[in-house]
Amino acid sequence: MASLIGPKTDVALAEAAAEAGSKVGVCVVANDNNAGNVVISGAKAAVDAAIEAAKALGARAIPLNVSAPFHCPLMQPAADEMARALVQATILAPRAPLVANVTARPTLDPEEIRRLLVEQVTGRVRWRESMLWLAGEGGVTRFAEAGAGKVLSGMAKRIAPDAEAVPLNTPADLEAFAKTV
């Protein structure tokens, strides 16, 4: 996997780079994070070729230190395993719509959620589009990121600058946040 970054970087540039990489092996756009940050994934040789193509197109390319080529067709065995595991899982309709990153659209349907969870293993993460829907039609004005760091909060602010994005990195952060909702 590699992150393509820079002011010229968008999905079209990443798709062109991935297409060049695909001449060597599997290479696809894996994550549309935000304007100026798109991730490609696939076979190492194909990603390396795509990195060179991306540089020629005006993007910086940073290889990512990951354990697998996530969000690409090479993850199909994991998707198959996920499908088998989810057959036994009970999925209830959520109280609020779930915005699936693979579609960037909301759903309340448990069977659609089950299908989309499997699709997400090999499918593109449409983070930018998901955030645009949430901050627009979804009416969300405050985002909370639970976990270590603030990468997603930073991306949220770039995509939806009028929304609040709060990183929750410690138990104290969670407690303080809980008092504000």
Residue 50 pLDDT: 98
C-beta separation of 18 from 11 below 8 A? no
- Supply φ then ψ for residue 155, to 5 degrees: -65, -40
pLDDT at 22: 98
Q: Is residue 85 classed exposed, middle or buried when 0-12, 13-18 and 19+ CB atoms within 10 A define those classes?
A: exposed
The CA–CA distances, whole Å, from 180 to 7, 144, 146, 148, 167 equal 36, 12, 15, 21, 14
State the DSSP code for 96. Answer: S
Return the structure tokens found at 71.
Answer: 């969000």
- Can you list the pairs that 128-131 forms with residues at least 24 positions away whose Cβ atoms lie under 8 Å? 128/32, 128/33, 128/34, 128/35, 128/155, 128/159, 129/32, 129/104, 130/99, 130/100, 130/101, 130/104, 131/34, 131/155, 131/156, 131/159, 131/160
Q: What's the DSSP call for residue 73?
A: G
User: Which CATH number is associated with domain 2-63?
Assistant: 3.30.70.250
The pLDDT assigned to 103 comes to 98
Reduced to 3 states (helix: H, G, I; strand: E, B; else coil), residue 167 is: strand
Q: Which residue numbers in the chain have pLDDT < 50?
A: none
What pLDDT score does 148 carry? 84
pTM beyond cutoff 0.85: yes
Positions of CATH 3.30.70.250 in the chain: 2-63
